[in-house]
Chains A and B, each alone.
Chain A
Amino acid sequence: MSHGANKAEKIKEISGVNPLRCMKCGKCSATCPAFDEMDIKPHQFVSYVINDDIEALTSSKSLWKCLSCFACIERCPRDVKPGKLIDAARQLVVREKGADYLKADEIPELLDEELPQQLLVSAFRRYRR
């Protein structure tokens, strides 16, 4: 197994996504609010994983532009969850470098009563530098 394929397996494992379910309809990309900011588009996350092109994915702008809003996950007619793929790719990068933007004990100070938990988790993943 190539290095890339290994990473693709890892992404599938972390995300629990089976990219082969995708029928290439493009509804995810039609829904995504961050589409214009992205270089690799949500429907392409799926094909990049299928084609083992993980380097391109992990070095993409999209990795940091995805809002983790999960609109694509909500709307995908095949229940593919493309947002989870990019989320997993992000985790791959975070785990590899092991460099956290935030330290866990810095969090309480920053907390806002109104803050949705989902946002917190997403923030952790995204702003790790």
Chain B
Amino acid sequence: MQRIGVFVCHCGSNIAATVDVKKVVEIISKEPGVAHCEDYQYMCSEAGQAKILEAVKEKNLSGIVVCSCSPRMHEGTFRKAAERAGLNPYMVEIANIREHCSWIHKDMEEATEKAVILARAAIAKVNLNAPLFPGESRVTKRALVIGGGIAGIQTALDIADAGYEVDIVEKTPSIGGRMSQLDKTFPTLDCSACILTPKMVEAAAHEKITIYTYSEVDKVSGFVGDFTVDIRKKARSVDMDKCTGCGLCQEKCPSKKTPSEFNRGLNTRSAIYTPFAQAIPNVPVIDRDACIKFKTGKCGLCEKVCQAGAINYDQTDEIVTEKYGAIVVATGFDTIKLDNYDEYAYNQSPDVITSLELERVMNAAGPTKGHLERLSDGKHPEHIVFVQCVGSRCNDNRGKSYCSKICCMYTAKHAMLIRDKYPDVKVTVFYIDVRTPGKNFDEFYRRAVEEYGVNYIKGQVGKVAPQPDGKLLVQASDLLDNKQIKMEADMVVLATAIEPSSSVRKIATMLTASIDTNNFLTESHAKLRPVESPTAGIFLSGVCQGPKDIPETVAQAGAAAVKAIGLLAKDKLLTNPCTAKSDELLCNGCSVCANVCPYGAISYEVIQVNDHGIREERRVARVNNALCQGCGACTVACPSGAMDLQGFSNRQIIAEVDAICR
């Protein structure tokens, strides 16, 4: 029997206002095995922890129960206190009488009774606790960043500057992400390429950074500090070392009909292509689905014109296997498809475009060389209508329930840029709310209205109808005037909702990182651990975690880097000792546990046993402590009761249940 000390925390009034803590102490003091019991206002404070140390010494305690908040908050605190008092830290149990009790009950009598029961369950468990000792695992001093947008680039630069090796895996032929598609950026209106390109160049030139473009993550195994990753370098069909980036091949390629991904399908590109002029690396890839050589065996023009002899049609995908201590996800976003929004006539008229498409139209390197013109007939527009919140803040099943956060600001930006360059063009913006929290953001929006004369109307567009004369008839509401208005426009620009990159599900599954119902990666704690995934060793950077503009993305990218560096700086990690263990005498080698283990931690070996004088060979399960995450799946699956979780053994759990039912 253990000598147990029980400490009941008031948590200010969080617990004490609903649970009669004195009464809990009075009842629990009489429990068998309890050698000490007291209450205190804040057990987590220095003074509270000192009480544990004191009691252990004076009463020679062997186990501790703290009745307090969730173990997610302070289990670590109390384990450390126990360790300082000379106890094994795993001799501490928490009875959660806050989240599980005081916060969810109103009646004091009931809550007090429940607190007593929860304390009894914890006491029953501590009675069966045994000291546990964490193992050690190594840390590979190299980080992987998945996604080469501004988020991935910034995270990689920060980690590399701290002296660690970083690899960036980017699925498109160049790093840069969405920011490379933008023309000018709010709130300062500097040119996107001018501020992004130096970062791209810096990343490419950094001796600690390796960039894999046109590549994807194929497989991930291992755990925090020791991940093994297969990276698929897709066949580029161009030799990276030989190509000089002269661009002759792209000029001469006769297959020029493929919609340009970079220009959002507003124009076409050749089969051999670099997505944009400042691409890094400046080495083209051959899109084999569009290439005439790959489709018919004829052509081969690029090979003939290439002076450097860089074209290689025989290249195949290559798998690079590398070890990493930390992985940062920075897979970014896309705009949603507008197929469900017939009312805006997006699929009917080329003059109805998304805001991202407008970025390309406004850009000097875009499909119209930066001239603002109607894509249907190249005419200069007289009136442009912007619609905000297209597909954002939707509770129907057509769009997204969240606010995309960046559209209010970029719409003000677009409206202002157009009015600045073409003062003759009338600009109308339909909005539900204009949301501009952020430094100098509201001032920016007000400038659009006050200095640039952009007409903001509170209301929504109900219908866009292409007219025979090529104009667009816009029917909308003006809620402040309580009118329905019809106006002619030459172009309609839709501030389209953003969503996480479509590949994020696959990435999250490989990393066992959790995602929310909108496919944004979930952070470990919404407030206190915003750049960490709940899966150890996985960090989040940029829009893959939630909608953000560039300044926020860059700030978060730095934060993710710091967390990764904090991990890489360690030489060894302590492993969780609460792992599964199989009892050789009970295990019948059925393989059920290995089939359910999500971490591949279970293997089998054949051992010699002496069963009542009979020597025989038996196939038994072995758990790899470094891989086991203590999820407990195997203990439930094992038909012979051989598998048990240390620290959460079947006996302990039954004892808890017994105590509750007593």
Contacts and interface: CB of A to CB of B under 8 A. Distances in A.
B394 A78 contact: yes
A43 B462 CA distance: 13
A31 interface: yes
Nearest to A78: B395
Interface in A40-85: 41, 43-44, 71, 75-79
B477 A27 contact: yes
Contacts of B478: 26
Nearest to B433: A23
B463 A30 contact: yes
A76 B399 CA distance: 11
Contacts, number: 69
Contacts of A41: 477, 482, 484
Contacts of B482: 41, 44
Interface stretch (B138-146, B420-428, B453-461, B579-587): B453-461
A32 B343 contact: no
Interface in B441-464: 458-463
Nearest to A73: B396
Nearest to B388: A25
Contacts of B484: 29-30, 32, 35-36, 41
Contacts of A24: 432, 479
B343 A26 contact: no
A30 B396 contact: no
B475 interface: yes
A35 B458 CA distance: 17
Nearest to B392: A77
B477 A26 contact: yes
B393 A77 contact: yes
Interface string B468-488: 000000011111001010000
B460 A26 contact: yes
Interface residues of B, number: 22
Contacts of B343: 31, 75
B389 interface: yes
B394 A30 contact: no
Interface string A2-46: 000000000000000000010111111111100110000101100
Contacts of B389: 25, 77
Contacts of B458: 26
A75 B462 contact: yes
B479 A27 contact: no
A79 B395 contact: yes
A30 B460 contact: yes
A41 B475 CA distance: 15
A108 B389 CA distance: 47
A37 to B, nearest CB: 11
Given A35-B484, A41-B482, A43-B477, A29 B459 contact: yes
Contact of A21 (B395, B398, B479): B395
A35 B462 CA distance: 12
A29 B477 contact: yes
Contacts of A75: 343, 462
B461 A30 contact: yes
B428 to A, nearest CB: 13
A48 to B, nearest CB: 13
Contacts of B398: 77
Contact of B460 (A21, A27, A71, A79): A27
B598 to A, nearest CB: 37
Contact of A31 (B396, B432, B463): B463
Contacts of B399: 77
A47 to B, nearest CB: 11
A127 B588 CA distance: 78
Contacts of A23: 393, 432
A41 B460 CA distance: 14
Given A23-B393, A79-B396, A30 B432 contact: no
Interface in B225-284: none
A41 B479 CA distance: 10
Contact of B462 (A31, A44, A78, A79): A31
Contact of B394 (A32, A36, A43, A77): A77
Contacts of B476: 30
Contacts of B432: 23-26
A60 to B, nearest CB: 14
B459 A76 contact: no
A75 B478 CA distance: 17
A28 B484 CA distance: 10
B462 A30 contact: yes
A84 to B, nearest CB: 14
Interface in B329-348: 343
Contacts of B479: 24, 26, 29, 43
Nearest to B398: A77
20 contacts: A25-B389, A26-B458, A26-B459, A26-B477, A27-B462, A28-B462, A29-B484, A30-B459, A30-B463, A30-B475, A31-B462, A32-B462, A32-B484, A35-B477, A36-B484, A41-B484, A44-B482, A71-B462, A77-B399, A78-B395
The 5 nearest A-B residue pairs measured at CB: A30-B462, A31-B462, A26-B477, A30-B477, A27-B460
Interface of B: 343, 389, 393-396, 398-399, 432, 458-463, 475-479, 482, 484
Interface of A: 21, 23-32, 35-36, 41, 43-44, 71, 75-79
Given A23-B393, A78-B396, 18 more contacts: A21-B395, A25-B460, A26-B459, A29-B479, A30-B459, A30-B460, A30-B461, A30-B462, A31-B462, A41-B482, A41-B484, A43-B477, A43-B479, A75-B343, A75-B462, A77-B389, A77-B394, A77-B398
